[in-house]
Structure 1
């Protein structure tokens, strides 16, 4: 099973678009680019790897003109249903970040690619493709799995695949059948467990690496969620396994 097949079957995420938790999350994400929620109004926004459309719908409800792309038809069908349920208009396209239709997509003021690039076979290429879709002064925000902070889950994933199964259904059935995991599993949704332990492919990155990507594409770095002076391997002790980084395309 590849990632496309996985997400066709196991939709992710599952959030309330106007709930307090999600509003707080979006405020935090936008803050990494010195943006606020009102800044979304009338802007062309690309949600690259939109999943079930949570960030797309939130942005559309706040007045953005949203295009949502994803590789998974199953995810997109759920996104369409969610958009209809929230009475918002979103352009939804099935498309691979590694091979996008640049002409069809057009250019964007803001591009969000959050927790997506590390599920592609070439995260750097995906980022470079997205940069081509930015308008002059356009802003991109990405979030990647941290090489060290994600280590604890990588170890668990590896052990589960060696001693249990690589099949997602068998893997999850095992986890939920063992009392030893009950306390852990009860603190998160089933969808999160699928995404955390059963996704067929994921890659891991560092802030230093991502900053090089931005520099090479001449994207002016704006902000990030990491302590740039910190020793990155120490991230293994942190709970947050994602890091955010944003940048702006120059006018040239």
Structure 2
């Protein structure tokens, strides 16, 4: 547990935490109900609205008969998940910010990796922690916290992974600034966001769905695949069609975030470079030509649009050279 606690901090003053979760700096005392530290300060009303939204229906949830083999097989249906796992060293310190119910954190917690799954919704974290116990995964711990005042050690992580989160915050650009500080100099940042172009098909489906009170939504492959899993189907419906806070972003916009926060651009996934199929997610793309990136995003309406239009941007926090812990094993 000590290895995990050194990656956490008091959300009020960033001080070290004792074994009983008391802050050694300001003296604040934090609880850890069911083994999940509560390191979250009071948030603004928009953030609280999002937290309550996920408390009501944790996303994405687990099926009735799950297992570690099921989780890994499900994750590895995604070429991106396989590529991410292959690109991370076996002894990396990983933060998944906005982990939801923890599937990716559990998937990445193999070899000697230390994984922190952080989220602001305790109901989601409870499901992740229960799954970790059920599956016998010891390399991950879950923590309740918020990006606005994270109970996490600045500069402590080799990899900060944050997917499907910033576009649900009141100010995604400001949230990104907080996120960057958690990566060590030279550490990697993997950011998944709704793309402004690739999200258009779902927005059209949402407009049609509103006409029927969301009883009928055409051409959604995820809802179709989850027809026999009503709870997971309902979670997808709420997350994608009824969310109270949503923003959409372009490749050029996120590049501007990178530049403003001293993050070196590495690549996008899917790639914005024609014919680029990386073997390592952390190897820089051959180039970054604006018109080619714009055309790639138009193509994402077809390739990414059916499942919500999420794209990934990868960057490296500026600083010292990368030690072996970042590269693949």
- Report the TM-score when normalising by structure 1: 0.81
C-alpha spacing 1:74/1:203, structure 2 compared with 1 (3 Å) = same
1:11-90 aligned at under 5 Å gives the runs 11-14=58-61, 18=69, 19-25=72-78, 28-29=80-81, 31=83, 36=86, 39-89=88-138, 90=140
Residue in structure 2 matching 1:97, options 147, 153, 164: 147
Alignment RMSD: 2.8
More helix by share: 1
What's 1:5 paired with? 52
Matched, 1:211 2:255: yes
Matched, 1:222 2:263: no
> What is the CA deviation profile of residues 48-103 of structure 1, one whole-angstrom value per residue up to 9, with x for unaligned ones?
00011111111213431011110111111111111111112322111111221344
Secondary structure in 2 aligned to 1:135?
A: strand
The separation in 1 between residues aligned to 2:319 and 2:304, in whole angstroms, is 38
Gaps (5+ residues) in structure 1?
Answer: 166-170
Q: How far apart are 1:237 and its partner, in Å?
A: 3.8
The separation in 2 between residues aligned to 1:120 and 1:83, in whole angstroms, is 27
Q: How far apart are 1:159 and its partner, in Å?
A: 5.3
Matched, 1:156 2:190: no
Mapped contact 1:17–1:54 kept (Cα < 8 A): no
Matched, 1:243 2:307: no
Mapped contact 1:43–1:109 kept (Cα < 8 A): yes
C-alpha spacing 1:199/1:64, structure 2 compared with 1 (3 Å) = same
Secondary structure in 2 aligned to 1:56?
A: helix
- Report the TM-score when normalising by structure 2: 0.63
The separation in 1 between residues aligned to 2:77 and 2:221, in whole angstroms, is 26
Secondary structure in 2 aligned to 1:45?
A: strand
> What is the CA deviation profile of residues 36-59 of structure 1, one whole-angstrom value per residue up to 9, with x for unaligned ones?
25x342211101000111111112
Secondary structure in 2 aligned to 1:199?
A: coil
C-alpha spacing 1:137/1:14, structure 2 compared with 1 (3 Å) = same
C-alpha spacing 1:160/1:84, structure 2 compared with 1 (3 Å) = same
